[in-house]
């Protein structure tokens, strides 16, 4: 594997080969879809505003976990 593999190629490789990364990506996409639904509304209730904040935090946490797996994979590939 090329050390010069780009970020997009690494993500694609992990989506195809790593169950944990794929699970995180699916969950991340689910939160993104829920946020899009909320953002399409003209007015959010207080409960919906709280849900929006919670979804953003969860989505960011998943993104961090995905990045961590990506870095681990990159380090192993470079060894």
For residue 13, pLDDT over 50 is answered with: yes
| Measured torsion, CA atoms of residues 15, 17, 21, 26, in degrees rounded to the nearest 10 | 50
Instruction: Write down the pTM of the prediction.
Output: 0.84
> How do residues 22-42 score in pLDDT, each as one tens digit?
999 999 999 999 999 999 999
Q: Is the pLDDT of residue 73 over 50?
A: yes
Domain ranges of the chain: 7-78
The two structure tokens encoding residue 13? 């490789």
């Amino acid at each position: 594997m090329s050390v010069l593999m780009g970020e997009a190629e690494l993500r694609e490789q992990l989506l195809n080969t790593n169950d944990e990364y794929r699970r995180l990506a699916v969950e991340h996409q689910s939160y993104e879809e829920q946020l899009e639904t909320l953002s399409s509304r003209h007015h959010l209730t207080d409960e919906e505003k709280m849900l929006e904040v919670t979804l953003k935090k969860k989505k960011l946490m998943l993104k961090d976990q995905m990045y961590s797996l990506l870095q681990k994979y990159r380090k192993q590939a470079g060894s």
